[in-house]
Amino acid sequence: MLTLAGAISLAILPVAEYPQISPPSVSVTAYYTGASAEVVEQAIADPIETSVNGVENMIYMSSKSANDGSYSLNVTFDVGTDPDMAQVNVQNRVSQIESKLPQEVRM
């Protein structure tokens, strides 16, 4: 009887009762003062995204380049990925290309 009640309860349990699990993410920001969004895209976004793409356990990444010279990248990882390790992996990838960015870029 108890098993039957459990099976019925499981079938009608609202989804809201399940814990919300959000995947870990890492953000990268950079500033290129005085640069347009197009220049930021070419000088900062393309090299960083090419380097970061394919980092271990990455699901997807999204970025934004603005006309004030700012750039932000958000890299999202599989659920269960160690956030500290994800941060280290992304930082290592960014460090590899940092010297190729314009000198005016602040990370």
Contacts of 69 (CB under 8 A, 6+ apart): 31, 32, 33, 34, 35, 36, 40
pLDDT digits (tens, 9 = 90+) for 59-76: 999 999 999 999 999 999
Q: Does residue 35 register a pLDDT over 80?
A: yes
pLDDT tens track for 1-26: 666 666 666 667 666 666 678 899 99
Domains belonging to the chain, first-starting first, are 23-100 (3.30.70.1430)
Within 8 A by CB and 6+ apart from 87, the residues are: 26
